[in-house]
Amino acid sequence: MFTTRPELTGDFGMVASTHWLASATGMSVLERGGNAFDAAVAAGFVLQIAEPHLNGPGGEVPILLWNEAEQKVSVVSGQGVAPAAATVDRFTGLGLDLVPGTGLLAATVPGAFGGWMLMLERWGTWTLADVLEPAISYAENGVPVLERVAGTIGAVEQMFTEDWPTSAATWLPDGRVPEAGSRLANPVLAATYRRLVTEAQAASTTREGQIAAARDSWYRGFVAEAIAKFCAETAWKDTSGKVHGGLLTAEDLAGWEATVEDPLTFDYHGYTVCKTGPWGQGPAFLQQLALLSGFDLSGMGHLSADYLHTVVECAKLAFADREAWYGDPDHTEVPLATLLGEAYNAERRALVGPRADGALRPGSPDGRAPRLPTRTPGDAAHAGGSFAGAGEPTVRSDGRVRGDTCHLDVVDRHGNMVSATPSGGWLQSSPTIPDLGFCLGTRAQMFWLEEGLPNSLRPGARPRTTLSPSFALRDGRPWLAFGTPGGDQQDQWSLNFFLSVVHGGLNLQEAVDAPMFHSEHFPSSFFPRESRPGVMMIEDRVDPAIVEELRRRGHEVEVQESWSLGRLSAVSRDTGSSGFLRAAANPRGAQGYAAGR
């Protein structure tokens, strides 16, 4: 089939990401002797500068990786937790029934820095100064402004000038929205990273000691002090329409650290897919595979009406379980063994009928009754404030500006592989901290302000996020690292890509370029938590006759413009005799790219 660019093939190294500057940076690290982990860290920090509307230093990052020496997949949880003061009573006492989608109240501990540093320390080879050098250079000298960056800043210009002057000072140079293609720098952020390097080099002469010192500066030193002071001494208007300060304290930051976990896995047609735990939505990918394993997708034909109907109906069932059962497993019991078990999925699979179902139908694993939030998702009038800057995706068709996400994948000649999905702390999420040059994230908006739910707001808990990098083994060997931005769509678009390779016989670039689709049937993870029962989105490159057949079956199909859904990237390593490395990246949005040789 036609592809927008070639699937890259080589044997030295591959990097694919949502921005060409990050991909080029990662490849330059591989060329200079760094491994996949060094390359991913350097590229990850460049994404903060190149795509500031999609991620930032105050955000978070989940990472899946394969280390060739250890011969295993590991998960790095760079997801921060709710502050100690963040209780349901604290929020409801402020008259809130949802965590605001913007501002200081929605901040969790910024986990991205800790996540990147943990991977660099444990599996990397480069120094802190080396991996930060490209990001510092771009922050000092500026990057070309993407159309979407200019559009995002333009959409929140009034909010910045009227309500968030520190953000206006950072993102409105000379008091104006930067033009697409112009150069935009962030010298304050560059100074923050330079100070981290200077303090680290003064504290230790070893690579590992400098990484530890930088982490200490971030979570217990000058960065933590600036964050705590900003939260305690300032207050800002958020999506509630009211002015609030923050809850993060120096103690919250000092008490948190990134962790390494084992992945959750599911075996499907000779492939072992690996995902994060239920503090992310990743297990929903595995639940979809468990349901789909009982259907003959290959026999249906790739992107046929039967195929699309079956995949969407299974997605609706898996994501209903996400709503009823997922949360931080350190704070709630999640019946994962049953949710991924054959008996449970055989029962759930029988619910997929010839017509689209309009209900949200979570299951009852082990006979336990599911519990969903009792409140009705809000709208702008209910919330009492503006949507500006809240949630996801980047820019909706109705003009609402929302945060989104980045993604990057790396494989090196040694066989090490990384899949990472950095997000949060986007420029429009929260006021810029003037001493640091970045803002805090708003991931706490994903908690529910209702007691007794798996994803209820709890001090010290991770919110159940949408961030969901993916990794797959073939016949027990590392094969594929992939992922996409897109909030609730991440584990639908990524699944579509995976199924296109496994059942459609497409190569990586063909699978990235294939028409995308998803369901919006279940509640959004983002403020104001709306749902659109029965709605299915699909790109207009699908045969109109198939669209009409889906509508006949009861789907409310909304046809979207060509090349508008999904922002996937991927790298792979042949498990056969060739050992070739491959990569592909997304053409949608005209900024993703892959590099390799």
Average pLDDT score over residue span 201-218: 98
**How much is the mean pLDDT over the chain?**
94
Q: What is the CA radius of gyration of the chain?
A: 22
Non-local (6+) Cβ contacts of 264 within 8 A are 274, 275, 276, 277, 278, 282, 283, 286, 336, 340
**Model confidence over 38-69: pLDDT tens digits?**
999 999 999 999 999 999 999 999 999 999 99
**Model confidence over 554-574: pLDDT tens digits?**
999 999 999 999 999 999 999
Going from the C-alpha of 90 to that of each of 85, 150, 246, 447, the distances in angstroms are 7, 36, 12, 13
Higher pLDDT, 62 or 374: 62
**Measured on CA atoms in the order 259, 271, 409, 48, is the torsion positive or negative?**
negative
Non-local (6+) Cβ contacts of 111 within 8 A are 59, 60, 61, 77, 78, 79, 80, 256, 258
| Percent of all residues in the chain with a pLDDT value above 90, rounded to a whole number | 92
Q: Is the pLDDT of residue 19 over 60?
A: yes
Q: Is the pLDDT of residue 381 over 90?
A: no
**Model confidence over 303-351: pLDDT tens digits?**
999 999 999 999 999 999 999 999 999 999 999 999 999 999 999 999 9
**What is the DSSP pairing of strand 556-560 with strand 13-17?**
unpaired
Rounded distance, CA 333 to CA 331, Å?
A: 7
- The answer to whether residues 389 and 428 touch, using CB atoms and an 8 Å cutoff, is yes
Rounded distance, CA 573 to CA 594, Å?
A: 15
Average pLDDT score over residue span 273-299: 98
* The pLDDT value given to residue 396: 46
Rounded distance, CA 390 to CA 239, Å?
A: 7
- Confidence tier at 379 by pLDDT (50, 70, 90): very low
Rounded distance, CA 335 to CA 327, Å?
A: 11
Rounded distance, CA 396 to CA 532, Å?
A: 15
* The pLDDT value given to residue 449: 95
**Model confidence over 487-536: pLDDT tens digits?**
999 999 999 999 999 999 999 999 999 999 999 999 999 988 888 999 99
The residues facing 275 across adjacent strands are 264
**Model confidence over 83-140: pLDDT tens digits?**
999 999 999 999 999 999 999 999 999 999 999 999 999 999 999 999 999 999 999 9
Average pLDDT score over residue span 148-158: 94
Q: Is the pLDDT of residue 399 over 90?
A: no
- Lowest model confidence (mean pLDDT) among 74-78, 400-404, 432-436: 400-404
- Lowest model confidence (mean pLDDT) among 138-142, 271-275, 473-477: 473-477
Non-local (6+) Cβ contacts of 64 within 8 A are 73, 74, 75, 76, 263, 274, 275, 276, 418, 419, 420, 469, 470, 471, 481
Rounded to the nearest 5°, which phi and psi values hold at 424? 80, 165
Rounded distance, CA 64 to CA 468, Å?
A: 9
Average pLDDT score over residue span 220-233: 98
Average pLDDT score over residue span 272-299: 98
| Percent of all residues in the chain with a pLDDT value above 70, rounded to a whole number | 95
Average pLDDT score over residue span 228-240: 97
* The pLDDT value given to residue 398: 41
The residues facing 236 across adjacent strands are 244
* The pLDDT value given to residue 408: 98
* The pLDDT value given to residue 390: 58
Which of 78, 173, 198 shows the shortest CA–CA distance to 427?
173
- Confidence tier at 247 by pLDDT (50, 70, 90): very high
Q: Is the pLDDT of residue 386 over 70?
A: no
Residue 17 C-alpha from the chain's centroid: 13
Instruction: Write down the residue that tokens 């702390």 correspond to.
Output: 425
Using DSSP, state whether 122 is helix, strand or coil: helix
Going from the C-alpha of 417 to that of each of 79, 181, 272, the distances in angstroms are 20, 33, 15
Q: Is the pLDDT of residue 384 over 70?
A: no
Say how many CA atoms lie within 13 Å of 205 toward its Cβ: 0
**Model confidence over 184-196: pLDDT tens digits?**
999 999 999 999 9
* 546 DSSP 8-state letter: H
Which of 303, 315, 305 shows the shortest CA–CA distance to 505?
303
